[in-house]
Amino acid sequence: MRDPTPEIRDLARRLLAQEVGARPGPLAWAEAAERACEKLRQRIALLVGPAGFHALLARALQLAGAEFPFLQGVRAELGAVGAQHAAPLLPLLPGLRDAVAGRDGAEAGAALGAVLAHFIWLLVTFIGADLGLRLVRDVWPEPLPGARGAGTEEAKQ
């Protein structure tokens, strides 16, 4: 299997940066990754099922863990889908906050961007680029910072 394309890696970095906002510390990156995964789970599990989402996330973590060994202790959990679950949702990525604690914010951001990039790459590999990227854009419909023609200084003028 090939690695994510540079375009997918860039998309993942921009999506995660949008989630993290102005607090780029390692724990903020972890919280942003958890939010991003939860948003993706809500949308993508409807198509591939909870087990399918879990399989994609677990594989993305494994692939990113090869690039960033400190992620190897992070697990992917199924999480609860739908309103039938009265208990609070369990974290989708237990061990993530511990894994990034004490890391440089840039390193944490790069590692979690890699997880998201691998997840998106796996998604488009299995269901196709058109549908896969459409699902991702459904989750983040706002123009991304640095996106061509959207939100850039040239587009505003």
pLDDT at 150: 32
Residues 13-29: tens digit of each pLDDT: 999 999 998 877 999 99
Residues 91-119: tens digit of each pLDDT: 678 889 999 999 999 999 999 999 999 99
Q: Which two tokens stand for residue 87?
A: 């208990």
Residues 39-79: tens digit of each pLDDT: 999 999 999 999 999 999 999 999 999 999 999 989 988 76
SS (H, E, C) 1-62: CCCCCHHHHHHHHHHHHHHHCCCCCHHHHHHHHHHHHHHHHHHHHHHHHHHHHHHHHHHHHH
Comparing CA positions, the residue from 117, 111, 115, 114 lying closest to residue 136 is 117
pLDDT at 93: 86
pLDDT at 90: 53
Indicate the domain borders of the chain: 6-81+88-156
pLDDT at 85: 43
Residues 80-94: tens digit of each pLDDT: 544 444 333 456 788
* Number of neighbouring beta carbons within 10 Å of residue 61: 23
pLDDT at 79: 62
Higher pLDDT among residues 37 and 92, named by residue:
37
